[in-house]
Amino acid sequence: MSRTDELRLMTKVARLYYVDRLRQTEIAEQLDISQATISRLLKRAQDEQIVRFNINAPIGIYADLESQLESVYGLKEAIVVESLPNEKQIIRDLGSAAAYYLNTTLKSNEAIGISSWSETLLATVNAMAPITRPNGAQVIQILGGVGDPTAESNAVHIVSRLAMLVQGQSILLPVPAVVGAHDTRQLYLQDPFVCDTIDRFDSITLALVGIGSIEPSDLLASSGNVFAAQELESLRRLGAVGDVCLRFFDADGAPVQTPLNDRVIGMELDQLRQVKRSVGIAGGERKLAAIRGAARGGYINVLITDALTAQALVELEANAPV
Measured from the Cβ of residue 309, the count of other Cβ atoms closer than 10 Å reads 26
Q: Which pLDDT belongs to residue 320?
A: 77
**Do residues 8 and 39 make contact, with C-beta atoms less than 8 angstroms apart?**
no
164 — pLDDT class (breaks 50, 70, 90): very high
- Across the range 151-159, mean pLDDT stands at 91
pTM recorded for the entire structure: 0.88
Q: Looking at the predicted structure, is the pLDDT value of residue 39 above 90? A: yes
Distances (CA, A) of 194 to 37, 158, 183, 216: 61, 18, 15, 25
Classify residue 222 as exposed, middle or buried by CB count within 10 Å of its CB (0-12, 13-18, 19+). Answer: middle
**Do residues 310 and 86 make contact, with C-beta atoms less than 8 angstroms apart?**
no
Q: Which pLDDT belongs to residue 150?
A: 80
53 — pLDDT class (breaks 50, 70, 90): confident
Q: Which pLDDT belongs to residue 1?
A: 54
Q: Which domains does the chain have, with CATH numbers?
A: 3-47 (1.10.10), 63-318 (3.40.50.1360)
Q: Which pLDDT belongs to residue 105?
A: 93
**Do residues 35 and 26 make contact, with C-beta atoms less than 8 angstroms apart?**
no
pLDDT digits (tens, 9 = 90+) for 178-199: 999 999 999 999 999 999 999 9
pLDDT digits (tens, 9 = 90+) for 95-124: 999 999 999 999 999 999 999 999 999 999
For the chain, percent of residues with pLDDT exceeding 90: 83
322 — pLDDT class (breaks 50, 70, 90): low
Q: Which pLDDT belongs to residue 57?
A: 77
